[in-house]
Homo-oligomer: A and B are copies of this chain.
Amino acid sequence: MRYSRPMRVRFGHADPAKIVYYPRFFEWFHDAMESMFEDVSGRPYAEVLEGTRAGFPAVSLACEFKSPARFGELVDVEVFLSRLGERSGTFEYRVRRRGELLATATVKVSVIDLDTMRSRAWPPDLRRQFEPYVEADGEAPDATRLRS
C-alpha cells in the first residue's frame, strides 16, 4: 500500500533552467509525509505531534534525480515505508510523471521525544497504522551510483 498525491510543479519550484530546483523536492517529500500522517492516522500531522509529543527528524537520506520535473507538469508523489523500526522509520518517496520515475528517495527518520529531544519508541497506535504501508520495491536510490 502506498500513499500518493498529485501535484502541479509551481513557478516557485522551478529555477532559471525551468526545471525543479532540487531542494524543493525535499519540501515536497516533507509535505507528502505530513499528508500521509493525516491520511493514515485521521489527524493532522501537527495534532499527532502535539498529542503524542513524538517528533520525526530526518537522520539520513539518499536521493536520485533520474529525469527533470518541469514547471507546469503534473507529478505524483508516492510515499511508503521500506522499514518500520522500533525507534525509527524509513520513508520511501517516488516522484512520477505519467508513470515515469523522475526521482526516488529514501529518508530515515528517528522517533524522538519532543520534550527531551531523545530517542523513543513509536506511539503504538501510529506504528500499527503505518504497518500496511511497509513494502520493498526495486526503485530505491542506488548508493553505488553516487560513488561511481
Which residues of A are in contact with B by a Cβ distance under 8 Å? 8-12, 14-19, 21-24, 26-27, 30-31, 34-35, 38, 44-47, 50, 55, 57-66, 68, 70-74, 83, 90, 106, 108, 114, 117, 141-143, 145-147
16 A-B pairs with CB atoms under 8 Å apart are A9-B46, A10-B30, A10-B31, A10-B34, A11-B16, A11-B21, A11-B34, A11-B45, A14-B15, A23-B24, A46-B73, A47-B72, A60-B62, A62-B143, A108-B146, A143-B146
Number of copies: 4
How far, in angstroms, from A143 to B143 measured CA to CA in the complex?
Answer: 7
Judge whether A65 and B71 touch: CB under 8 Å.
no
